[in-house]
Amino acid sequence: VLVVLIGLSVDLSAAWDSGRTALLLVGSGLLFRSLGVWIATIGSGFSNRERLFSIIAYLPKATVQAALGAVALAYGIPGGELILSSSVIAILVTAPLGLILLRRFGEGLLSR
């Protein structure tokens, strides 16, 4: 319900205008987040395959974006529309990407 309500408050023209910038922001965020997961799991005893699974499992980011995306807009912060649009784009990109990658590689990366 929260994701739907956030989606309804997005100005589609602002989302379209911020598309490339938001995708670059989301992509670089995912890259650094993945690097952080890889570094954080050094010495954990996980195999490289399990560490890769951890990276994939941390890709979806919809909950935080849905909860915080509209806060900047609600408080009248300059650029609030860009922040909200970027959060919606992050939801639309990372949630399906995480699902697809987990379904495709999940069982192959983990062993019982």
Contact assessment for residue 54 and residue 110, using Cβ atoms and an 8 Å cutoff: no
Nearest to 86 by CA among 25, 8, 34: 25
Q: pLDDT-derived band of residue 1, with 50, 70 and 90 as boundaries?
A: low
> Tell me, what's the pLDDT at 88?
80
Nearest to 19 by CA among 74, 82, 72: 82
Q: For 37-93, write each residue's pLDDT tens digit.
A: 999 999 999 999 999 999 999 887 777 776 777 787 778 888 777 777 788 888 888
Tokens representing 35 are: 């690097």
Q: For 4-39, write each residue's pLDDT tens digit.
A: 555 555 666 666 677 788 888 889 989 999 999 999
> Tell me, what's the pLDDT at 6?
58
Contact assessment for residue 51 and residue 38, using Cβ atoms and an 8 Å cutoff: yes
> Tell me, what's the pLDDT at 68?
76
